[in-house]
Amino acid sequence: MKKDIHPPYRPVVFQDSSANFAFLTRSTLTSDETITWEDGATYPLIRIEISSASHPFYTGQMKIVDTAGRVERFNRRYRRD
């Protein structure tokens, strides 16, 4: 890699505000907020709205909603007589 053209890649804490879940990983994102992690070190804090702890696919709370009878409307439109 060329020197001095890439942003620093460092440890960052991402915190899911809806599930009160946080994880430490590496990223190039920056933040003015910091958090003291479980190891006692201070890391930049990036707040996110959704993560694997709150996403319906991973939590098993997916809902399939049939709004306005989509199946019936499809059957009427493409019915073969």
Tokens, residue 57: 């696919």
Kindly state the average pLDDT of the residues 29-42.
93
Q: Is 66 part of any domain?
A: yes
Q: Is 57 part of any domain?
A: yes
Q: Are strands 42-48 and 10-16 parallel, antiparallel or unpaired?
A: parallel
**Are residues 22 and 34 in contact, defined by beta-carbon separation less than 8 angstroms?**
no
Identify the three-state secondary structure at position 76.
helix
Number of domains in the chain: 1
Q: Is 53 part of any domain?
A: yes
Query: Percent of the chain scored above 90 by pLDDT?
Result: 38
First to last CA, the chain: 66
Q: Is 1 part of any domain?
A: no
In whole angstroms, what is the distance from residue 30 CA to residue 33 CA?
9
Taking only the tens place, the pLDDT of each residue in 3-30 is 889 888 999 999 988 788 899 999 999 8
Looking at residue 50, its pLDDT comes to 81
Q: Is 2 part of any domain?
A: no
Q: Which has the higher per-residue pLDDT, 61 or 72?
A: 72
Q: Is 18 part of any domain?
A: yes
In whole angstroms, what is the distance from residue 23 CA to residue 14 CA?
6
Residue 47: name the closest of 11, 12, 4 by CA: 12
| Residue 21, domain extent | 10-77
Q: Is 24 part of any domain?
A: yes
